[in-house]
Amino acid sequence: MLRVTKLRYGFPIGLLLFFYLDGILGAAFPKQLFNYPYTMSSYLVVLWLVYSIYFEDQITIPLGIWAAVAGGLFDLYYTGIFGIFVFVFPIVVALTRACYKAFPINFLSGLLVYFIDITVVCALSYFGNLVVHLTSASFADMLVYSLAPTLAYNLAAYVILYFPVQWLFNRLKN
Amino acid sequence: MNKFFSNRRLVIVIVCLIVSFGLMSVSVAIRNKRSTPPLIQQFGNDVVGLVNRVVAWPVNGVKGSVTAVSDLLNTYQENQRLKSQIQELAQTKVHDQALTQQNTKLKKELKLSHTLTDYTAVNATVIARTPSSWQDQVIIDKGSAAGIKKNMPVLSGSGLVGRVSEVNRTNSKIELLSNSSESANRFAVQITNKSGSTVNGIVTGFDSNKNRIEMGNITSKTKIEKGDKVMTSGLGGIMPAGLLVGTVTATGTDNYGLASKVTIKPAADISNLSYVTVAVRQSQTTN
């Protein structure tokens, strides 16, 4: 079904754009995003994947594979440690799909699901970095200095972009 | 729950976990041992980096206009401050020139070609920052094609900010001083106090709450005071000597009361980087 709509171009372009924005926003506004000791990690690429699940309707995009590709690029290009996000992104997609089946998704319940998604991404990336000794931060530090600001940033992005992206998906589907 | 963890799914989950840990340990091992990542990874990173520059262009345009406004508001105060500094700078510059000339003449007489303080600068632009709390890392737009090698020191404005951690053909990754990983910020540094004696040591950590560099394991009894300048010593590896790291803000003993610990205020603003300079040392060592 993906083949017949404009989404076949729109979805990958959006995914790549959000992927690059994650890194570029961090470089362009470091004072705002990385205000020591608080660090906000931008996961806009996850936001795009989650939006795709909410707005795809009958068109089933092979999101698991796209998530793994985006995760692989994220690992190689941004972190340099392959093997964390390449698994975390598909897990998030599976989780969101499960939630989508369990209850109706609207703006507010979608926000809560995205809250859970970001928490999962943060926690798993923290444990991944912990086991390969790239960080020695304690779990409590992670909650206060990393998870809380990251949630604030990403949920704000969700609220701001929800309606524009919904409009965009509706345009691309027809 | 029973249904979710059916036999097949459980096996898949466990296999994925094992593969994930395997991949992570392999890539960390490669990163620690080899000077460049595998060829496929390098090629992929180069391609991704190329598109990154295209996407970054409009974002930087927006950022430019935002900073232009805030710069305009600060212009008067900044002008006052700079005027007072510029008098001093002109003098220092002339003095510096004379000293450099003298230095090259003396070196020629001693038949020294390159000493530890000589380095060439490669300027680069920061194109992205790792969106992660655990790796303070930025990506710059110069790579091995511009002569950058792994572990080279990176400066911004007035001081040291980090070192090169991964080199591709046309871009490379920089681990910042503020990185909390175990191998990130071990720089060989020295402190010269007012009376001229020096203390050698290694940067042992970064206190991100206070934005201070920590230098520990100092057993020398030489008196270090607040305000003393800290610079790289050029010992070990490919680091040139004489790069400013920061100024001493406090001295004390470490948690066990045995060795002394020095707290250093970084000379460069580590959290705000747009342009950086990679220092390529000219004198080669065999290691």
Shortest alpha-carbon distance between residue B93 and chain A (Å): 32
Residue B262 and residue B143 share a domain: no
Please report whether residue B228 resides in a domain.
yes
B-chain residue closest to A145, CA distance: B133
Write the CATH number for B123.
2.40.10.340
What does the alpha-carbon distance between residue A108 and residue A70 come to, in Å, rounded to a whole number?
Answer: 26
The encoded tokens of residue A69 equal 């590709």
Residue B262 and residue B153 share a domain: no
Residue B262 and residue B123 share a domain: no
pLDDT of residue A154: 93
Asked if pLDDT for residue A1 goes beyond 60, the answer is no
Write the CATH number for B194.
2.40.10.350
Q: B140: which chain A residues are within 8 Å (Cβ-Cβ)? A: none
The pLDDT tens digits of the residues spanning A101-116 come to 888 888 899 999 999 9
Please report whether residue B169 resides in a domain.
yes
The pairing of strands B212-218 and B198-207 is antiparallel
Q: Give B1's pLDDT tier (boundaries 50, 70, 90).
A: low
- Kind plus residue range of the DSSP H or E element containing A151: helix A148-173
Which residues are registered as beta bridge partners of B162? B154, B176
Q: Cα–Cα distances in Å, from A45 out to A70, A112, A151, B111, B271?
A: 8, 18, 14, 57, 23
Shortest alpha-carbon distance between residue A62 and chain B (Å): 19
Q: Please answer whether residues B226 and B249 qualify as being in contact, where contact means their C-beta atoms are separated by less than 8 angstroms.
A: yes
Q: A16: which chain B residues are within 8 Å (Cβ-Cβ)? A: 51
Residue B277 and residue B161 share a domain: yes
Residues in CB range of B124: below 8 A, 6 or more apart = B140, B141, B142, B146, B275, B276, B277, B278
Q: Please answer whether residues A20 and B131 qualify as being in contact, where contact means their C-beta atoms are separated by less than 8 angstroms.
A: no
Q: Give A121's pLDDT tier (boundaries 50, 70, 90).
A: very high
Residue B174 and residue B146 share a domain: yes
The encoded tokens of residue A101 equal 């089946």
Residue B169 and residue B195 share a domain: no
pLDDT of residue B287: 42
The pLDDT tens digits of the residues spanning A63-84 come to 889 999 999 999 888 988 888 8
Verify whether the Cβ–Cβ distance A26 to B128 is below 8 Å.
yes
Residue B259 and residue B240 share a domain: yes
Domain count within chain B: 2
The residue count for chain B: 287
Query: Within an 8 Å CB–CB cutoff, is residue B181 touching chain A?
Result: yes
Please report whether residue B56 resides in a domain.
no
Q: Cα–Cα distances in Å, from A119 out to A24, A142, A160, B10, B55?
A: 22, 11, 19, 23, 28
Residue B128 and residue B260 share a domain: no
The encoded tokens of residue B118 equal 């000589």
pLDDT of residue B113: 67
Q: Which B-chain residues 218-257 have CB contacts (< 8 A) with chain A? A: none
The pLDDT tens digits of the residues spanning B210-250 come to 888 888 777 777 788 888 888 888 777 778 888 888 889 88
Verify whether the Cβ–Cβ distance A27 to B48 is below 8 Å.
no
Verify whether the Cβ–Cβ distance A31 to B271 is below 8 Å.
yes
Residue B245 and residue B124 share a domain: no
Beta strands in chain B (DSSP E): 119-129, 137-140, 153-156, 159-167, 172-176, 188-192, 198-207, 212-218, 229-232, 244-253, 260-266, 275-281
Q: Give A157's pLDDT tier (boundaries 50, 70, 90).
A: very high
The pLDDT tens digits of the residues spanning B136-163 come to 889 998 888 888 888 888 988 778 888 8
What does the alpha-carbon distance between residue A158 and residue A110 come to, in Å, rounded to a whole number?
Answer: 9
Name the phi and psi angles at A106, rounded to 5.
-130, -170
Please report whether residue B221 resides in a domain.
yes
Torsion of CA A57, A62, A65, A71, to 10 degrees: -30
Tokens 């094609």 locate to B145
The pLDDT tens digits of the residues spanning A31-41 come to 888 877 788 88
Query: Within an 8 Å CB–CB cutoff, is residue B28 touching chain A?
Result: yes
Q: The domain containing residue B127 runs over which residues?
A: 119-181+273-281
Name the phi and psi angles at B162, rounded to 5.
170, -165
Q: B50: which chain A residues are within 8 Å (Cβ-Cβ)? A: none
Shortest alpha-carbon distance between residue B206 and chain A (Å): 11
Verify whether the Cβ–Cβ distance B139 to A42 is below 8 Å.
no
Q: Which of B28, B138, B208 sits opposite A36 (nearest CB)?
A: B208
Q: Give B50's pLDDT tier (boundaries 50, 70, 90).
A: confident
Mean pLDDT computed over every residue of chain A: 88
Please report whether residue B194 resides in a domain.
yes
Tokens 């703006």 locate to A107
Torsion of CA A160, A163, A165, A171, to 10 degrees: -160
Smallest CA-to-CA distance from B185 within B201, B198, B202, B168 is with B202
Q: Give B2's pLDDT tier (boundaries 50, 70, 90).
A: low
pLDDT of residue B286: 42
Please report whether residue B93 resides in a domain.
no
Query: Within an 8 Å CB–CB cutoff, is residue B65 touching chain A?
Result: no
pLDDT of residue B234: 79
The residue count for chain A: 174
What does the alpha-carbon distance between residue B178 and residue B214 come to, in Å, rounded to a whole number?
Answer: 10
Residue B207 and residue B163 share a domain: no
B-chain residue closest to A154, CA distance: B131
Please report whether residue B159 resides in a domain.
yes
Residue B194 and residue B233 share a domain: yes
Please report whether residue B104 resides in a domain.
no
Residue B196 and residue B154 share a domain: no
